Structure 1
Amino acid sequence: MGTMVYPLVVGVDGSDAGFLALDWAVDEAGLHTLPLRLVHASRWERYEDAALGMSLKRPAREVRADNIVGAAVERANQRNADIDVSTQILGDDPETVLLREADYASAVIVGSCGRGAFAGLLLGSVGLAVAARARCPVIVVRGDRAGLAGTHERVLLGVGDSAKGSEAVRFAFREAAARRSTLDAVRAWRCPAHDTADHPMVAGSPERYHEEWASAVLDEALEETAGEYPTVRVRRVTAEGPAHKVLTRRSAAADLLVLGAQRRDSHLVLQLGRVAHTALHHAECPVAVVPQPA
């Protein structure tokens, strides 16, 4: 028996941002030879029986949902006719729908803002919630049309404290290999104000100590996976400054930013760490948040 192939799932809502996410998803499906599943969240099914009791006409919500999905299928086929496209209209809120789909997806892809059912993505009401809780990678398609063209030939990977053997590192290498792009692996570092040259742990320049530590973390994080992708060119970058600022700034020259999901429990609500939260709001390229299995 062959390995189960899970599709890429993209949320479609008829908005401009949704269409940009769809275009990006079609290209991503082509890069990895994956099927594409177009999902629209609509509550019309809940009212279908009542509406039919009053009229033989189809409910307006149902017609609108069909039109949105039909336009999305046509757009996907025009962009790449070789992609296997399936659709689903589900009568629930978008967060619930996408989280359910994530259990059987290679990745979930959403736009950075939307309208109707997906409204509020600009503020993160759906995108952040799905990225924080999904069991598969979630890609929020950010940036303008020029930034989404994939012409930088560069995948940016933010390397955190627990990156050794992480799914985020593997995801970034797979993306770089499929795109024939350079992988920029970045580890940010800061020199605490209280560090001085006479500190027993710091010989010589405290800045040099922290930079060398960052370099060692990078090497450890990449070593195992780099051997599996010998054709991928890797640039190891240590950069001074807060990680969320360093990565957001560098995203302007990347086609994709890959981050590990650093989730933490807070008042029974799952939250993303500051780096992912900032990137999902301010990065200038698509952002992939990749969960690390417990």
Structure 2
Amino acid sequence: MVIPLVVGVDGSESSLEAVDWAVDEAARHTVPLHLIHAAAPGQDASGLITAASERAGKGAAGVRLSSEVLRDDAASALVGEGHKAFALVLGPRGRGELPGLLLGSVGLAVAARAHCPVIVVRGSPEHRAGRFGRVVVGVEDGQGSDAAVEFACREAHVRRCELVAVHAWSAPLGALAEPLPGPWYALETHRRPPAQVLDDALRGPAKQYPDTTVTRRVVEGAARRALWEAAAGADLLVVGAGRRHARPGLQLGLINHALLHHAPCPVVVVPQR
């Protein structure tokens, strides 16, 4: 059984734009597209989900399409569907939420609780239409980015576009006070040279997708700014998120929050395996 790409629909324009984006994404990956709408018991949502399905059907040539109304709150419904989804796709703002809200409350709750990648379809029509030919992925030191890098490499492969892997780093505070006798990372056995972080993260995926062009960017400075600047010329930004230890859900740190709210293009949060 092929698991579907799931889109949350609430009738807002941003959710319908997410449907448009998801149609193309499902076609790229040859997976079914499943639209869901969460409604309170007794609420008639047939017109809303039918309209969204008709819109998807106009551009879904070759994509198997289905829809469903779930009687649950929106966040819980989407998180539940995420157990059996290729990814969850959302618009940045929900129906009835404040116009100035950067990311809706449902989107943030889903991104923090989902068991599969969550895609928030942000950005201008140019970014949503995939006109830049570039996928950007943020790479951390350690294994926290492995799933994100794998997802990003696969995206670049099916889109036949460039993959830009970005690793941002900062020298330890002590290095600012007095010069080190060699590279600072040579004195810190738990840290690797920044370029090696990228090489190690990309080694496996590069073998799996040898035809994908990969550009490595090592940036000294804040990761949030480095990723935002790279994403300004990208069709998709991919970041990882670690799982919580004490309770279910993901550790959405400051970088994830900032990008979910402000990324200039569609952004994907990929849970760590």
User: Given the two structures, how large is their TM-score scaled by the length of structure 1?
Assistant: 0.84
Q: What secondary structure, in the 3-state scheme, does the structure 2 residue paired with 1:195 have?
A: helix
Whether 1:203 aligns to 2:200 is no
Counterparts of 1:37-52 in structure 2 under 5 Å?
37-43=34-40, 45=41, 48=42
Counterparts of 1:139-154 in structure 2 under 5 Å?
139-154=119-134
Deviation at 1:212, TM superposition (A): 7.8
Aligned equivalent of 1:138: 118
CA RMSD of the aligned region, Å? 2.7
Q: Percent identity?
A: 48
Q: What is the rounded CA distance, in whole Å, between the counterparts of 2:100 and 2:249 in structure 1?
A: 19
Q: What secondary structure, in the 3-state scheme, does the structure 1 residue paired with 2:15 have?
A: helix
Aligned-partner residue type, residue 102 of structure 2: L
Q: What is the rounded CA distance, in whole Å, between the counterparts of 2:63 and 2:35 in structure 1?
A: 12
Deviation at 1:266, TM superposition (A): 7.9
Structure 1, unmatched stretches of 5+, are: 49-60
Aligned equivalent of 2:30: 33
Aligned equivalent of 2:224: 244
Aligned residues: 270
Deviation at 1:80, TM superposition (A): 2.2
Q: What is the rounded CA distance, in whole Å, between the counterparts of 1:107 and 1:118 in structure 2?
A: 26
Q: What is the rounded CA distance, in whole Å, between the counterparts of 1:120 and 1:114 in structure 2?
A: 12
Is the CA contact (8 Å cut-off) linking 1:107 and 1:136 kept in structure 2? yes
Moved over 6 A (4+): 117-121, 207-212, 266-269
Q: What secondary structure, in the 3-state scheme, does the structure 1 residue paired with 2:127 have?
A: coil
Counterparts of 1:3-152 in structure 2 under 5 Å?
4-43=1-40, 45=41, 48=42, 61-62=43-44, 65-116=45-96, 122-152=102-132
Decide whether aligned partners of structure 1 residues 137 and 270 sit closer, same or farther in structure 2, where only a CA change above 3 A counts: closer
User: Given the two structures, how large is their TM-score scaled by the length of structure 2?
Assistant: 0.90
Render the CA deviation track for 1:139-165: whole Å, top value 9, x for unaligned: 011102122110100000000123478
- Out of 144, 153, 168, the position equivalent to 1:173 is 153
Aligned equivalent of 2:255: 275
Deviation at 1:267, TM superposition (A): 8.8
Render the CA deviation track for 1:63-92: whole Å, top value 9, x for unaligned: xx1111111111111112321110110111
Aligned-partner residue type, residue 8 of structure 2: G
Decide whether aligned partners of structure 1 residues 262 and 97 sit closer, same or farther in structure 2, where only a CA change above 3 A counts: same
Aligned equivalent of 2:268: 288
Q: What is the rounded CA distance, in whole Å, between the counterparts of 1:162 and 1:106 in structure 2?
A: 25
Whether 1:218 aligns to 2:215 is no
Q: Which protein is bigger by CA-based radius of gyration?
A: 1
